Amino acid sequence: MLKRTPLFEAHRTFRAKLVDFYGYEMPLQYKSIRDEHMSVRNHAGIFDVSHMGEILIRGDKALEVVQDLTANDAAKLKAGKSQYSVMCRENGGIVDDLLVYCLSDKEYMLVVNASNIEKDFNWILQVNDGRAEISDISEEIALIAVQGPESATIMEKLTKNNPGGIPMFEFRSMAVSDYDNILVSATGYTGEKGYELYCNIRHVNVCDLWENIIVAGEPHGIMPCGLGARDTLRLEAGLALYGNDLTEEHTPLEAGLGWLVKWDKGSFIGKDALLEQKKNGVSRRLRGFVVKEEKRIPRNGHAIASKKGEVLGQVTSGGLSFMLNRGIAMGYIPSEQAEPGNTVMMRIRDKEHPAEVIRPPFYKRKK
């Protein structure tokens, strides 16, 4: 039987098309994926992302455990700040990409992918080895994302605080729509300005909050958005998806996430393997591809070939960029073929179509 998030009844009220997503009955779309995508780019969208996992690490050695687990430097975080990071195996393979929230100097929250909650929790317990208190609070937390250029204006109608003043990757606890202690984070997965609202379901009627956000956002063009638009938005913004673009078969150096690896922070799991790879150079890289012809849409699993017909790799994420009106994709290809501006061939329906190699993002809002 599929799990349901605390917002399931809201999805039925808004007549969402529901699908199985890693064991959760989740909204794929409400109207059309294109309409929802463009609403986020031009106005605002609201997403249910309650399927994500939240794991708490508490105690005097909480930071020590987080530092062992993650490649980024959590010691740089103060209460109210978060960072994007990765957890690696000893061989450098990516266990998961995640957000690390510093709740205090003795309490951290790791936000992990829905598909990896059990795997990540077991890995964290193994690495922890009894040093800190580890709790999986995923079932207690509902997560609402409000994304788009109008998101701050909408949020400011629902709180006496100033969400628009929260810097990127920082968060505040505040009352929103009469519900206290909602953790409002200036983060998201769309490439737009936005917020993620962490709500304890014991204290917040999240269906009521969802509807209040939509009512406040109606004059500003807000739309409820499903997983379809979430995927097209994150791909267009060049954001990798675990299970597609990131796996245990790939390292952060291959995936273009070398900037997350803080070599001078001290030891962390996978450091030795990554240092060796850095020394020798990576043999493959995750790159973006823009198909040069219109109406040629690469999909996951499509082959990426050289101009001579040699298969270089395959598409890990692919689709249509609504902003560029071009097919776009990400995938791993040999480093010698990965220079931006190079031309490769996308095999779409047994025909080859030229595509330009780029470093994502494909689309970035002009400030």
Same domain, 37 and 183: yes
Same domain, 201 and 346: no
Same domain, 150 and 45: yes
23/297 Cα distance (integer angstroms): 28
Helix (H, G, I), strand (E, B) or coil at 228: helix
Q: Which of 236, 252, 268 is the last residue of a domain?
A: 236
Confirm if 44 and 148 have CB atoms less than 8 A apart: yes
Count of domains for the chain:
2
What is the per-residue pLDDT for 367? 62
Confirm if 71 and 251 have CB atoms less than 8 A apart: no
Confirm if 67 and 123 have CB atoms less than 8 A apart: no
68/87 Cα distance (integer angstroms): 9
Same domain, 342 and 194: no
Query: pLDDT in tens for each of the 367 residues of the chain?
Result: 899 999 999 999 999 999 999 999 999 999 999 999 999 999 999 999 999 999 999 999 999 999 999 999 999 999 999 999 999 999 999 999 999 999 999 999 999 999 999 999 999 999 999 999 999 999 999 999 999 999 999 999 999 999 999 999 999 999 999 899 999 999 999 999 999 999 999 999 999 999 999 999 999 999 999 999 999 999 999 999 999 999 999 999 999 999 999 999 999 999 999 999 999 999 999 999 999 999 999 999 999 999 999 999 999 999 999 999 999 999 999 999 999 999 999 999 989 999 999 999 999 887 6
- In-domain check, residue 329: yes
- In-domain check, residue 116: no
**Predicted confidence (pLDDT) per residue in 343-352, tens digit:** 999 999 989 9
What is the per-residue pLDDT for 365? 82
Q: Which of 236, 266, 299 is the last residue of a domain?
A: 236
Same domain, 46 and 156: yes
CATH code of the domain in which 346 resides: 2.40.30.110
Confirm if 285 and 333 have CB atoms less than 8 A apart: yes
Return phi, psi of residue 119, to 5°: -60, -45
- In-domain check, residue 221: yes
Same domain, 212 and 336: no
Same domain, 288 and 227: no
Sole residue written with tokens 């790159």: 287
**Predicted confidence (pLDDT) per residue in 153-194, tens digit:** 999 999 999 999 999 999 999 999 989 999 999 999 999 999
Q: Which of 172, 203, 236 is the last residue of a domain?
A: 236
Same domain, 33 and 146: yes
- Give the long-range contacts of residues 137-141, CB within 8 A, separation 24 or more: 137/54, 137/55, 137/56, 138/52, 138/53, 138/54, 138/55, 140/54, 140/200, 140/201, 140/202, 141/50, 141/54, 141/198, 141/199, 141/200, 141/201
- In-domain check, residue 1: no
- In-domain check, residue 336: yes
- In-domain check, residue 201: yes
Same domain, 144 and 224: yes
Same domain, 226 and 299: no
What is the per-residue pLDDT for 251? 98
Confirm if 360 and 353 have CB atoms less than 8 A apart: no
- In-domain check, residue 3: no
CATH code of the domain in which 12 resides: 3.30.1360.120
Would strands 222-225 and 44-48 be described as parallel, antiparallel, or unpaired? parallel
Give residue 32's domain range.
Answer: 8-51+140-236
Same domain, 186 and 300: no
230/39 Cα distance (integer angstroms): 12
Same domain, 290 and 228: no
- In-domain check, residue 203: yes
